């Protein structure tokens, strides 16, 4: 049986504590507790932070040639941190992962300073790797609708309820801008029947909740799946089920999208998450304001949402260059 996110986080945290000396382990335990209870980070984020700090401390111990204690951490020089980052770069780690790696170490450093355990100034003295700014690649309106249409996969040798299920999930991603984890995390009681409501409460990153509208056609697609599903959908259990009745895996949705990419001639960038990008880009293109789109997407910062303004501008310029007689 696959481990839950909470179990994976606990394993990562235990491994982190087991590899540290007594004083560092005590500091790490306090930091992990702060992440869980004060900052309310999700189990997946805590697992990633624990793994990153474990890797950081391990590489640092190799670089210094001894086991770490709190005084050694407080005495770090910027060159020591750069040596660890260089070691990660030599492993072929991408800049975005490097940035998260350093952010986790800095979080632990801030905890040490807050608790009076020493100030690890070297962590803030080193610049984070630059991440190339890439624009999201949304689907066209026609392609996004085709992906969420059960008829697109009508010829596949699959049970009808499976096709209804996949279409309903993809329709939620495009119609309401959900992350795939948010859609698959919905319980049966969360989804109103058509005509009995048009909003759902979504549990997003960091256990934050938000209210999201659901279009009537999407509700009807979910209802069609629920009626066709061979398993009893109890109110308190997951709405979307796998072939054996358990919670639906994100990988199954990704594979469904891959099959449709071939049939529709879509690029590799046409992933389930691209439907969320498409939702935001198309909404902005039809006059939606950034602040409202930020709330719908559950972005903590408006700057994260502003990237869709750049996508919309890029599409406008591409259309102008293709159609305007003096664009060349």
Q: How does pLDDT run across 114-130, given as a tens digit for each residue?
A: 999 988 888 888 887 77
The whole-angstrom separation of Cα 152 and Cα 67 is 58
Listing DSSP states for 245-305 in one string gives: SSBPPHHHHHHHHHHHHHHHT--TT--HHHHHHHHHHHHHHTT--HHHHHHHHT-SSHHHH
Q: How far is CA 30 from CA 118, 190, 287, in A?
A: 14, 35, 47
- Which of the residue ranges 53-57, 108-112, 227-231, 281-285 would you say has the lowest mean pLDDT? 281-285
User: What are 230-253's pLDDT values in tens digits?
Assistant: 999 999 999 999 999 999 999 999
Residue 123 CB partners (closer than 8 Å, separation 6+): 76, 81, 102, 105, 106, 109
> CA 38: distance to chain centroid?
21
Cα 215 to Cα 218: distance, rounded to the nearest angstrom: 5
In terms of Cβ atoms closer than 10 Å to its own Cβ (0-12, 13-18, 19+), residue 99 is middle
Distance from chain centroid for Cα 64: 35
Higher local confidence (pLDDT), 125 or 184: 184
Q: Which residues have a catalytic role annotated?
A: 179, 205, 273, 276, 299, 308
Look at residue 161 in the predicted model and tell me its pLDDT: 94
Q: What is the DSSP secondary-structure string of 27-44?
A: HHHHHHHHHHHTS---HH
Of 153, 155, 322, 126, whose CA–CA distance to 253 is shortest? 153
Name the token pair of 127.
Answer: 């610049």
Residue matched to tokens 């406008």: 316
Q: How far from 217 is each of 102, 144, 174, 191, 203, CA to CA, in Å?
A: 44, 14, 12, 13, 22
Residue 135: what pLDDT?
59
Segment 28-54 shows an average pLDDT of 86
pLDDT above 70 for 312: no
Percent pLDDT > 70 in the chain is: 89
What percent of the chain clears pLDDT 90, i.e. is strictly above it? 28
Question: What average pLDDT does the chain have?
Answer: 84
Neighbours of 94 (CB within 10 A): 13
Q: Tokens 């049970």 belong to which residue? A: 159
> Mind listing the pLDDT tens digit for each residue in 268-303?
888 898 888 888 888 777 777 777 777 777 777 776
Task: Say whether pLDDT at 172 is over 90.
Answer: yes
User: Using CA atoms, how far apart are residues 307 and 268, in angstroms rounded to an integer?
Assistant: 21
Confirm if 56 and 68 have CB atoms less than 8 A apart: no
Residue 190 has pLDDT above 90, yes or no: yes
């Amino acid at each position: 049986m696959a481990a839950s996110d909470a179990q994976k986080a606990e394993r990562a945290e235990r491994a982190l504590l087991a590899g540290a000396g007594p004083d560092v382990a005590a500091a790490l335990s306090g930091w992990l507790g702060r992440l869980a209870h004060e900052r309310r980070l999700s189990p997946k984020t805590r697992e990633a932070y624990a793994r990153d700090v474990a890797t950081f401390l391990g590489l640092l111990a190799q670089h210094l040639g001894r086991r770490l204690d709190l005084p050694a951490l407080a005495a770090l020089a910027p060159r020591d941190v750069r040596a660890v980052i260089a070691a990660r770069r030599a492993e072929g780690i991408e800049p975005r992962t490097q940035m998260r790696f350093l952010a986790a170490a800095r979080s632990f450093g801030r905890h040490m300073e807050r608790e009076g355990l020493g100030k690890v100034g070297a962590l803030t003295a080193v610049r984070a790797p630059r991440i190339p700014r890439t624009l999201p690649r949304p689907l066209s309106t026609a392609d996004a609708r085709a992906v969420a249409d059960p008829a697109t996969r009508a010829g596949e040798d699959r049970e009808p309820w499976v096709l209804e299920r996949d279409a309903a999930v993809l329709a939620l991603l495009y119609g309401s801008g959900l992350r795939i984890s948010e859609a698959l995390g919905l319980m049966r009681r969360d989804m109103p029947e058509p005509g009995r409501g048009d909003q759902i409460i979504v549990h997003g990153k960091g256990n934050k909740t938000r209210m999201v509208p659901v279009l009537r056609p999407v509700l009807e697609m979910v209802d069609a799946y629920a009626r066709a599903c061979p398993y009893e959908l109890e109110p308190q259990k997951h709405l979307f089920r796998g072939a054996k009745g358990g919670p639906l895996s994100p990988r199954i949705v990704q594979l469904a999208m891959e099959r449709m990419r071939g049939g529709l001639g879509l690029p590799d960038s046409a992933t389930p998450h691209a439907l969320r990008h498409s939702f935001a880009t198309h909404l902005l293109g039809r006059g939606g304001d950034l602040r409202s789109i930020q709330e719908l997407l559950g972005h903590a910062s408006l700057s994260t949402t502003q990237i869709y303004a750049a996508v919309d501008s890029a599409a406008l310029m591409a259309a102008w260059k293709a159609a305007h007689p003096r664009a060349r």
